Amino acid sequence: MTFMLFGQDLDPDALSTRLGIPAHSSACKGDERRGPKGQLLGHHRQGWWRIDSSPLLTATGDARKDINEHLKVLLDLLLPKRDLVLEFAARGESYFDVLWESTYLYAGTGPLIDAEYLRGVADLGAGMGFDIYQINEEEDQDANMQIHPISVKPDLG
């Protein structure tokens, strides 16, 4: 999950300094945009600043997959600086971006966000976008054997 601020005149270095939070990635208006192979794609039309939840998480195991853990770590950083975030957001846009991947997508299987974290997002005046993808499970022979064991009948012959 990421939190992003955008603005025509947004200076990401000034934002990091004022918030006391370094960006995980950022760009100024006019900076070059490059593709994965280094090719020039154009120039940024506005400044932006981004922090990512994953490097900040202390949760382990399945807890790392909980959307609320990701929101908690970002909101713990941002809510104490709410007035500054709102000041910068008023001149542009702010939002949380969620990447949700699951091996099973069906009605009602998406992320469930606790009310306290929805309130925190709203307190920052931020929007939220979701990129949702179904991914394939990796084949695990041991797990498959536990689910579908092969029966071996003894040779009584």
Q: What long-range pairs does 147-152 form, CB within 8 A, spacing at least 24?
A: none
Give the pLDDT score at 138: 67
Do residues 9 and 80 touch, judged by C-beta distance below 8 A?
Answer: no
pTM of the model: 0.79
Give the pLDDT score at 83: 96
CA nearest neighbour of 48 among 85, 87, 94: 94
Q: Judging by DSSP bridges, how do beta strands 127-134 and 92-102 pair with one another?
A: parallel
d(CA 48, CA 32): 13
pLDDT by residue (tens digit) across 44-68? 999 999 999 989 988 777 777 889 9
Query: For residue 114, what are the CA distances in angstroms to 68, 72, 111?
Result: 7, 10, 10
Q: Where in the chain are the domains? A: 2-30+43-137
Burial 134-149 (b: 16+ CB within 10 A, else e): eeeeeeeeeeeeeeee
Query: What residues of the chain score a pLDDT lower than 70?
Result: 108, 138-157
